[in-house]
Amino acid sequence: MSGSFVYSEKPIQIEGGEGPYLYDDAGNEYLDFGASYGVATVGHCHPEVVSAVQSQMEELTFVQASYPNAARDALYEKLAAVAPDGLENVWLCNSGTEANEAALKFARSATGNSKVVAAMQGFHGRTMGALSATWKSKYKQPFEPLAGDFEFVPYGDEEALAEAVDDETAAVLLEPIQGEGGVNPAPEDYLQVAREVTNQTGSALILDEIQTGLGRTGALWACEKRGVTPDLLTSAKGLGGGLPVGATLCADWIAEDAGPHGSTFSGGPVVSAAAEATLSIIAEENIPKDASEVGDHLQSKLRGSELPIRAVRGEGLLLGVEVKRGANRLLKRLAMDHGILALPAGRTVVRLLPPLVVEESHADEVVAALEAVLAEAKA
Ligand SMILES: *Cc1c(COP(=O)(O)O)cnc(C)c1O
């Protein structure tokens, strides 16, 4: 077996990228409306990210995290500056699942408890701990037994959540909007209730903002729109502008008793420089505001259209279009006939998760292409 035996390869060979576009080996252009699994938040090959990485590469490629380093310190400072108030303690790692692993470990250590309450349809990553907090049995069943003491409640059900959380609960782990699980925004007061019940029991509230964060929903963090500050917040995907970096932001009471943890590559200078540049771009280019405006435009176009769809859900540029039949066939036609790459979120949802630098004209292009492929599918 050669190459990847995990991913089913797509019949397009991508060799270049710029902004929201990808280019195949024949020079054909594709609009990357899935941002390559949500990574290309500031677009592909953003010149400021490229230049930050190039200069840092020449200075120092790597040094372990126990030696202070200016690039890493700059990222610590930047993350602390943009973190929700009170979450200025930063742990750096290499991916989303690792950011969640750390959050789970820190919460268990700081509370002395083990039980974690997570949500049905939730997705938190593929390593054993984060996988244990993930809902879909397809992802879990072949690898059991997983980590113990995880309990699932229906997402959005305030009473079920309040009932599940008790004095033995280490943490409640939730996405502010479920991404992979079908693009399901939390009902209005749900995160507030999660905050209240965890406060009452002394449990930690962990919000997984790996997909919702960095401006995608119209605020830098989706929890800010709900007026809720968790005890731990995880970020990854777009954080490194294309390079692998994840972060766990935590409150003082967590950081003070986080337990022993570490990772060889934590806060390497090159990924730190990339992430610092990415966060600067997000602030300077006012990206959350654009995501909100273009997202609203896209959402109203989708709703106003004659598209044979069941529902449109989401906020900003994290949108799910629920279709009547399998999403994968539509995604293939979007790619092959219209040069538009998007993602599924379950069997019947087309997930639109573009780079946050897209404009209304790109959104219009996607709606027109969806109209065409859906008309064809019906014929
Ligand atoms: C993608 C994702 C993860 C996992 O991130 P990886 O970098 O793939 O490990 C975790 N949580 C959410 C909400 C995600 O969207």
Q: State which ligand 1 atom lies nearest to the alpha carbon of 178.
A: 13
Q: Would you call 123 a catalytic residue per the annotation?
A: yes
Q: State which ligand 1 atom lies nearest to the alpha carbon of 244.
A: 7
In the predicted model, is pLDDT for residue 223 greater than 80? yes
To test the pocket of ligand 1, the residue of 6, 97, 245 to mutate (highest count of ligand atoms within 8 Å of its CB) is 97
Ligand 1 mean position, distance from CA 92 (Å): 15
Closest CA to 53 of 267, 270, 245, 266: 270
In the predicted model, is pLDDT for residue 151 greater than 60? yes
Q: State which ligand 1 atom lies nearest to the alpha carbon of 125.
A: 4
Which region among 5-9, 111-115, 246-250 has the lowest average model confidence (pLDDT)?
A: 5-9
Catalytic one of 208, 231, 290, 301: 208
Gap between the Cα atoms of 6 and 369, Å rounded: 29
pLDDT > 70 fraction of the chain, expressed in percent and rounded: 99
In the predicted model, is pLDDT for residue 1 greater than 60? no
C-alpha torsion 349→330→355→207, nearest 10: 20
Q: What is the mean pLDDT of residues 301-307?
A: 89
Q: Give per-residue pLDDT as tens, 125-147.
A: 999 999 999 999 999 999 999 99
In the predicted model, is pLDDT for residue 305 greater than 90? no
Q: Cβ distance 26 to 227 under 8 Å?
A: no
Confidence (pLDDT) at 2: 65
Q: State which ligand 1 atom lies nearest to the alpha carbon of 175.
A: 13
Residue nearest ligand 1's atom 5 by CA? 96
CA angle 43, 15, 126 (to 5 degrees): 65
Closest CA to 178 of 341, 35, 351, 296: 351
Residue nearest ligand 1's atom 6 by CA? 96
Q: State which ligand 1 atom lies nearest to the alpha carbon of 122.
A: 13
Ligand 1 residue neighbourhood (C-beta within 6 Å): 95-97, 100, 123-125, 175, 179-180, 208, 210-211, 236-237
Per domain, the residue ranges of the chain are 14-44+288-378, 47-284
Which region among 45-54, 197-206, 318-327, 369-378 has the lowest average model confidence (pLDDT)?
A: 369-378
Ligand 1 mean position, distance from CA 124 (Å): 5
Q: What is the DSSP letter of 238?
A: G
Confidence (pLDDT) at 27: 96
Confidence (pLDDT) at 379: 63
Q: What is the mean pLDDT of residues 313-327?
A: 95
In the predicted model, is pLDDT for residue 96 greater than 90? yes
Given this chain, do its domains 14-44+288-378 and 47-284 carry the same CATH topology?
no
Catalytic one of 33, 106, 123, 150: 123
CATH of 14-44+288-378, one of 2.60.40.420, 3.40.190.10, 3.90.1150.10, 3.30.300.130: 3.90.1150.10
In the predicted model, is pLDDT for residue 378 greater than 80? no
Q: What is the mean pLDDT of residues 198-222?
A: 98
Average pLDDT, the chain: 96
Q: Cβ distance 325 to 348 under 8 Å?
A: yes
Radius of gyration of the chain (CA): 20
Ligand 1 mean position, distance from CA 233 (Å): 13
In the predicted model, is pLDDT for residue 3 greater than 70? no
Q: What are phi and psi of 10, to 5 degrees?
A: -95, 150
Ligand 1 mean position, distance from CA 271 (Å): 18
Just give the CATH number of 47-284. Answer: 3.40.640.10
Q: State which ligand 1 atom lies nearest to the alpha carbon of 98.
A: 9
Confidence (pLDDT) at 11: 83
To test the pocket of ligand 1, the residue of 36, 37, 123, 351 to mutate (highest count of ligand atoms within 8 Å of its CB) is 123
Catalytic one of 78, 105, 115, 237: 237
Q: Give per-residue pLDDT as tens, 277-294.
A: 999 999 999 999 999 999
Ligand 1 mean position, distance from CA 24 (Å): 26
- Outline where 70-180 has alpha helix (H): 70-82, 96-111, 128-132, 137-140, 158-164
Confidence (pLDDT) at 48: 98
In the predicted model, is pLDDT for residue 365 greater than 60? yes
Ligand 1 mean position, distance from CA 97 (Å): 6
Burial group, residue 307, by CB count within 10 angstroms (0-12, 13-18, 19+): middle
To test the pocket of ligand 1, the residue of 6, 180, 206 to mutate (highest count of ligand atoms within 8 Å of its CB) is 180
C-beta neighbour count of 288 within 10 angstroms: 23
What single string gives the DSSP state of each residue in 33-87?
TTHHHHT-TT-BT-HHHHHHHHHHHHH-S---TTS--HHHHHHHHHHHHHSPTT-
In the predicted model, is pLDDT for residue 306 greater than 90? no
Q: Give per-residue pLDDT as tens, 58-72.
A: 999 999 999 999 999
Q: Would you call 237 a catalytic residue per the annotation?
A: yes
Q: What is the mean pLDDT of residues 40-46?
A: 98
